[in-house]
C-alpha cells in the first residue's frame, strides 16, 4: 500500500494510559519527496552559481546530498517533537514508567501528521529558497 510504518505501543505502569508511536516507512512517498527535493535543490544550486551543462552533474549530486541531509534532519527533529517521551520511557501525562507492550508493521493506513510534515518540510524548504533566489 501507499502509506506504511513501524508501530510501537506502550502502557503506563502508573496511570494505565496507552500510547503508540509510528515511524513512517512509506517507500513511494519518501522516494517522490526525495526526488522532488533533489530536483529543486539542484535547480537552486545551478541557478545561484550560474552553472552550465558541465556543472549540472555536480549540482545534481550536491542537490541529492542536501535532499538526503534535509530528510535526516527533518526526521530527527520531528521524532524529538512527536516521540520525545519514547526516548526516556516516561509517561507524558503522569511521568510514570512506560512498558513496551506491542510492536509491529502497519501497511495501508492513513499517513500520520508526522509523516506529512516530513514530506512537506523536505520539499518546501528548497522550494522556499528557490523563491528567494529568483
- The tens digit of pLDDT for each residue in 69-125 reads 999 999 999 988 888 788 888 898 898 999 999 999 888 878 888 899 999 999 999
Residue given cell 552553472 in the structure block: 51
Of the candidates 7, 10, 3, the residue with the CA atom closest to the CA atom of residue 86 = 10
Whether pLDDT at 38 is above 60: yes
CB 5 within 8 A of CB 115: yes
Q: Where are the domains of the chain?
A: 4-15+24-133
pLDDT for 109 equals 79
pLDDT for 127 equals 95
Separation in Å, CA 9 to CA 25, 41, 77, 97, 106:
17, 37, 21, 13, 12
Give the residue-averaged pLDDT of 54-74: 92
CA neighbours closer than 13 Å in the CB half-sphere of residue 77: 11
Distance CA 21, CA 78 (A): 12
Of the candidates 107, 111, 109, 119, the residue with the CA atom closest to the CA atom of residue 78 = 119
- Paired with 102 in beta bridges are 9
Whether pLDDT at 1 is above 70: no
Amino acid at each position: 500500500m501507499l502509506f506504511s510504518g513501524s508501530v510501537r505501543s506502550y502502557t503506563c505502569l502508573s496511570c494505565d494510559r496507552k500510547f503508540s508511536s509510528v515511524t513512517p516507512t512509506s517507500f513511494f512517498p519518501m522516494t517522490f519527496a526525495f526526488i522532488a527535493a533533489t530536483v529543486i535543490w539542484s535547480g537552486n544550486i545551478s541557478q545561484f552559481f550560474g552553472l552550465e551543462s558541465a556543472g549540472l552533474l555536480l549540482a545534481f549530486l550536491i542537490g541529492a546530498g542536501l535532499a538526503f541531509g534535509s530528510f535526516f534532519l527533518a526526521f530527527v527533529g520531528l521524532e524529538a517533537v512527536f516521540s520525545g517521551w519514547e526516548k526516556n520511557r516516561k509517561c507524558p501525562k503522569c511521568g510514570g514508567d512506560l512498558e513496551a507492550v506491542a510492536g509491529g508493521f502497519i501497511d495501508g493506513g492513513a499517513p500520520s501528521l508526522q509523516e506529512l510534515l516530513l514530506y512537506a518540510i523536505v520539499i518546501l524548504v528548497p522550494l522556499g529558497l528557490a523563491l528567494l533566489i529568483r
